[in-house]
Amino acid sequence: MELIVAVAACHHAPAPHGVAAGPSRTTEVTLFTDGAFVEQAIDVEVGDAPVAVHASVPYDVAPEDIIVVERGSLEIGAVHTALAAHELAVIAAEPSEDVEPTNDSEEVAAPPGRRGVLDPPRAVEVIVRGPRGHHVVHLGYLTTAMVFSAAYTITTTAARDRATVRGALAIENLTNVALLHADVTLVDRSSDEWSAHQRATLLAQLGGPPVDPGPVRHPLGMLDLVNGQTRVELLPDEPPRQMRSVLVYDPFGTALDNPAPTPRTDTELGLHASTVVTESFAIERPARTVAGMPGGPVRLLERRHDGSVAVLGESRLFDAATQKARVDTIPVGTADGVTARRERVELTVDLDLKRVVEEIAIVVVNARSAPIDVVLREHAYRGATWTLAYQSTPTAELEGTQQFAMHARVAPNTTLRTSHTVVYRW
């Protein structure tokens, strides 16, 4: 992983005279989908001689990956790490180059960390010197040994007009380093995506092209990230939301989405679409309370009059594809008497102008004796740089980076044809 951070310059210092380090102050942890960036704040009392500051970091953090994020008025010397005990055991067990291996040496047991037991942390020593008195050294590193997952439930009543959303976040600390009283923030993107956005934002500030708001940081507050699992309740005080029945036609989902700026030009892409329209429930999403929430699976539950609970449907919430949506839709089955088909009207690829134009028609057949309202969910699946140039429906709402929704009303026993055009440029 790569992450953009502010790094203080390091200077060489003489050998240490003694060791002094106090308890950690505020440790900051930023969780990403592929790991975590940890900034440990370590108190140190500096005298006339250089001082060695000691800390523990996860086993997967190499010495060259440790950075001094903030040093104040201190001068930073070398950063050393010591080999863990099981590493030394492996080295001692390795046969010499001039000795033929025996069966005993070939059967040396694997280190504990290779057999499912957490690897011990690395010991880090940072040499500092500076003005006498109290200072704080901030050490930063990326680790892949801290991961998270989220899951949600939506509970409604037999009336099915309102629903309550609840969630839980599980943080797995596999670093073997307990991070107590840590200020934890979650970014539901990879560290590379976050770094790319930070880089683009910096370029925009220097006069470069403007950038979208990008990933949202979601603060989780002060947590004790001990070894193992830490659970955090999500949306604990969220009031009930309005819920309504809706039909949805989403033939591909996100399966075809290409997040790259250069679009795919395959002529077969998007031709073989499903004809299934789903009965779904749409639950309002108040943006003020869900910004930056982590994506995860969701189950829609119905609490009946007798107190029993039944599962109505399953889906996902808060994924990147739907980060700008105003509602969340949960499919609960196939719509009887309603079908749809997706047809390509035009595909023009102009490599000289770096432009792809694709026109799509959607035909909705309503065999019911009552009118229906249907959400036509489309994906700009060819690439990330796109524009909805035309749609025949009255409205179209952006739901995510490559997802938008159009709304249509179809009269009873009627066939409705809609069309829209997406233009890709790179």
pLDDT at 283 over 50: yes
Nearest CA to 177 out of 143, 219, 222, 221 is that of: 143
* Residues facing residue 56 across a β-bridge: 123
pLDDT tens figures, 29-43: 999 999 999 998 888
Task: Give the number of other CB atoms < 10 A from CB of residue 333.
Answer: 10
| Secondary element (H or E) of residue 281 | strand 276-284
- CA 149 to each of CA 37, 90, 347, 374: distance values in angstroms, whole numbers, following the listed order: 17, 34, 40, 32
Ranking 12-21, 148-157, 183-192, 365-374 by mean pLDDT, the lowest is 12-21
Answer with the residue of higher pLDDT: 224 or 81: 224
Token representation of residue 423:
């233009």
Nearest CA to 293 out of 399, 155, 186, 221 is that of: 186
**Cα torsion angle, 63, 67, 71, 74, sign:** positive
Residue in the block written with tokens 């679009």: 263
Give residue 55's pLDDT band: very low, low, confident or very high (50, 70, 90). Answer: confident
pLDDT at 27 over 70: yes
Nearest CA to 400 out of 294, 285, 319 is that of: 319
**pLDDT given for residue 295 in this prediction:** 94
Buried/exposed code over 214-228 (b: 16+ C-beta within 10 A; e: otherwise)? ebeebebeebebeee
Rounded Cα distance between 176 and 119, Å, is 7
pLDDT tens figures, 198-243: 888 888 888 878 877 778 899 999 999 999 999 999 999 889 999 9
Rounded Cα distance between 357 and 62, Å, is 48
